[in-house]
Amino acid sequence: MTTTTPTPSVLAAADPAAPGPQTSGRRRFRIGAGEQLRGGPFTYLALAVVGVLSVFPLYWTLVAASHDQQRVLDSPPPFLPGGRLWHNLQAAWEQASLGKALVNTLIVAGCITAATLFFCTLAGYAFAKLRFRGRGVLMTAVIATLTIPPQLSVVPLFMIMSDIGWGGKLPSVIFPTLVSAFGVFFMRQYLIEALPYELIEAAKVDGANNLRVVRSVVLPAARPAMMVLGMLTFVQAWNDFFWPFLALNQSNPTVQVALGQLSASYTPDQSIVMAGALISTLPLIVVFIVFGKQIVGGIMAGAVKG
């Protein structure tokens, strides 16, 4: 009996070292058409142009945030950072109460990410590996919900939230996004390949019930994908604008809402607005620089079978 137990070495086969979709994608790439053709000078030139265009607006946010408004609006506009960055950051921090907004955003994005990871892994596992009546139809239903824009339900959502006393409070932003269709789909795609039936069977033969299987087999196997889904969800929750803008008010905003309000004040100082934009974006840019590779891999892995 001990032979069928998922020993650490068996587990390792489905574990971080060997993530499913990504590596299989790359393996196909090696023998694919890309092999024959190396990028020439034109390829690098074109990529460099697109790269500069991609990064420049962010660089220019920094430039504009480091001058005074007069200089920002001057022609020719500044191309190099000036010396007012610290002053502007402080001004933005105070005017838009960004401290509170940052804490709020962290709470919102943190809760949404944790809940999404938990629920999507469970649901993804069920859709990938468990047999049950209506599985196909229900999975189609999950994907179909992706096509419903939030605009269609914000009016009553606003009324409901005010009804149950969540008007203007963070739960009104957290609860509607606790679990995402994309996340369910993403985890399902990953677990189909990364979690062999043998592991589940072995755990069951050992007498593990379903919850136990989830804890000792599914979660370890899902960890790499959970990392990626976590980052994608965090980025999205951090940047969400439409519903938080409607649901939260001036006194209790997320950074995006605070930023919108800062720019909508009567005479917004553009250099201070840009400083606010910088503060609200910086945490994500850090996340992106550290985990960029995984985020890229995650988007590609989630898309392959889309």
**Which one of 48-56, 80-88, 91-99, 191-199 is the stretch in contact with another protein (CB under 8 A)?**
48-56
Among 16, 99, 156, 165, binds another protein (CB under 8 A): 156
Q: Comparing C-alpha atoms, which of 270, 271, 273 is closest to residue 261?
A: 273
CA distances from 72 to 13, 160, 195, 251 (A): 56, 43, 55, 29
Cα separation, 155 vs 150, in Å, equals: 10
Check binding of 5 to another protein (CB under 8 A).
yes
Check binding of 68 to another protein (CB under 8 A).
no
CB of 116 to another protein, least distance (A): 10
CA distances from 219 to 129, 153, 209 (A): 13, 34, 14
Nearer to another protein, 30 or 83 (CB): 30
Q: H/E element holding 259?
A: helix 255-264
Q: Cα torsion for 84, 85, 88, 90, to the nearest 10°?
A: -120
Do residues 89 and 278 make contact, with C-beta atoms less than 8 angstroms apart? yes
Give the three-state DSSP class for 54: helix
Check binding of 53 to another protein (CB under 8 A).
yes
CB of 85 to another protein, least distance (A): 16
CB of 132 to another protein, least distance (A): 4
CB of 86 to another protein, least distance (A): 20
Among 18, 23, 43, 250, binds another protein (CB under 8 A): 43
Among 14, 98, 108, 122, binds another protein (CB under 8 A): 122
Among 127, 191, 229, 269, binds another protein (CB under 8 A): 127
Among 123, 194, 199, 225, binds another protein (CB under 8 A): 123
Cα separation, 153 vs 158, in Å, equals: 9
Cβ-count burial 212-246 (b if 16+ within 10 Å, e if not)? ebbeebbebbbebbbbbbbbbbbbbbbbbeebbbb
Q: How many residues bind another protein (CB under 8 A)?
A: 120
String marking each residue 158-197 x if it binds another protein according to CB under 8 A = xxx-xx-----------xx-xx-x--x-------------
Site for another protein in 12-31 (CB under 8 A): 25-26, 28-29, 31
Check binding of 251 to another protein (CB under 8 A).
no
Nearer to another protein, 107 or 260 (CB): 260
Among 96, 142, 194, 229, binds another protein (CB under 8 A): 142
Check binding of 10 to another protein (CB under 8 A).
no
Q: Comparing C-alpha atoms, which of 13, 26, 15 is closest to residue 293?
A: 26
Nearer to another protein, 18 or 304 (CB): 304
Among 107, 154, 219, 227, binds another protein (CB under 8 A): 154
Cα separation, 19 vs 34, in Å, equals: 22
**Which one of 55-63, 81-89, 191-199, 222-230 is the stretch in contact with another protein (CB under 8 A)?**
55-63
CA distances from 189 to 20, 60, 124, 138, 185 (A): 10, 39, 8, 15, 6
